[in-house]
Structure 1
Amino acid sequence: MPQLFLNEKSCGTKADPDRVNRAMTDMVRAVLAVAREDRAGTLLVSGEPVTALQLAQGHAIQKWIGSPGTKDLWQRLAILQSKWPLREAFPEGETHADVEYRHDGDAVEGLGAAHLTGGLGISLPVDSRWDTDRLTLVREELVDDEDGGSAVTEVDVVHAARREHVATHLPWIRRGANSARQKAVESLRSGTELWARCPELFPTLQFTPLAEQHFAELAEVWVRPVGERLGELQDAVSDWDPARQPIAPQWRSYVRTEFESRRRLCWFPDTDGKNHLFDWHCDFLPKPGRMHFRLLHEERTLRIAYAGRKLDV
Structure 2
Amino acid sequence: MSRLFLNELTCDGTADRRRASEAMTELATALAQVRRMSPDATLTCTEDSSFPHWMIGESYSAVQWMNENGTNRERGRLLMGLQQRAPFRIPAQGLDPESEYSHCGQPGRAFQATDLHDGMTVSLPIGPDWEEPWLPVTRLRPEEGEDGVVELCSADIHLRHCSREHHATEHEEWLRNEGLEKLATGAALWEGRDRYFPHLEFLPRVEGNLRNLDHAWVVPVRKHLVKLEEAVAEWRINDDGMLVYRSKVTVESDSRVKGGIVDFIDLDGQRRAFQLHSRYTPGKGRIHFRLVPEVRRARIAHVGGKLGA
Regarding TM over 0.5, the answer is yes
**Alignment of 1:24 onto 2:19:** no
Unaligned runs of 5+ in 1: 89-93, 142-150
Match of 2:159 in 1: 158
Q: 1:42 to 1:64 in 2, by over 3 A?
A: farther
In 1: Cα distance, 2:74 partner to 2:82 partner: 13
Q: 1:243 to 1:154 in 2, by over 3 A?
A: same
**Alignment of 1:268 onto 2:262:** no
Q: RMSD of aligned C-alpha atoms?
A: 4.9
Match of 1:114 in 2: 114
Match of 1:233 in 2: 228
Q: 1:120 to 1:194 in 2, by over 3 A?
A: closer
Asked if 2 retains the 8 angstrom alpha-carbon contact of 1:101 and 1:137, the reply is yes
Asked if 1 retains the 8 angstrom alpha-carbon contact of 2:43 and 2:82, the reply is no
Asked if 2 retains the 8 angstrom alpha-carbon contact of 1:111 and 1:121, the reply is yes
In 2: Cα distance, 1:205 partner to 1:75 partner: 28
The residue correspondences of 1:98-247 to structure 2 (distance < 5 A) are 98-103=98-103, 107-132=107-132, 133-137=134-138, 155-160=156-161, 161-162=163-164, 165=167, 173=174, 181=180, 184=182, 188=185, 191-192=186-187, 194-196=189-191, 198=193, 202=197, 204-238=199-233, 240-241=234-235
Cα displacement string for residues 227-277 of structure 1 (whole angstroms, at most 9, x for unaligned residues): 332232133234x1468999664212222444565164423242xx53363
In 1: Cα distance, 2:296 partner to 2:2 partner: 24
Asked if 2 retains the 8 angstrom alpha-carbon contact of 1:237 and 1:302, the reply is yes
Unaligned runs of 5+ in 2: 143-151
Deviates more, 1:285-294 or 1:132-141: 132-141
The TM-score, its normalising length taken from structure 1, stands at 0.64
CA deviation after TM superposition for structure 1 residue 301, in Å: 3.7
**Alignment of 1:309 onto 2:301:** no
Cα displacement string for residues 95-127 of structure 1 (whole angstroms, at most 9, x for unaligned residues): 423445455665532223224444332212232
CA deviation after TM superposition for structure 1 residue 7, in Å: 0.8
Q: 1:217 to 1:76 in 2, by over 3 A?
A: farther
Counterpart residue identity of residue 44, structure 2: V
Asked if 2 retains the 8 angstrom alpha-carbon contact of 1:255 and 1:280, the reply is yes
Q: Structure 1 vs Structure 2: percent identity of aligned residues?
A: 24
Asked if 2 retains the 8 angstrom alpha-carbon contact of 1:28 and 1:77, the reply is no
Counterpart residue identity of residue 255, structure 1: V
Asked if 2 retains the 8 angstrom alpha-carbon contact of 1:41 and 1:177, the reply is no
In 2: Cα distance, 1:287 partner to 1:152 partner: 48
Counterpart residue identity of residue 122, structure 1: V
The TM-score, its normalising length taken from structure 2, stands at 0.65
Asked if 1 retains the 8 angstrom alpha-carbon contact of 2:26 and 2:165, the reply is no
Asked if 2 retains the 8 angstrom alpha-carbon contact of 1:202 and 1:231, the reply is yes
Cα displacement string for residues 37-91 of structure 1 (whole angstroms, at most 9, x for unaligned residues): xx499654333798636483234474699439x979x879957994154349xxx
Q: 1:255 aligns with which of 234, 244, 249?
A: 249
Q: 1:103 to 1:294 in 2, by over 3 A?
A: same
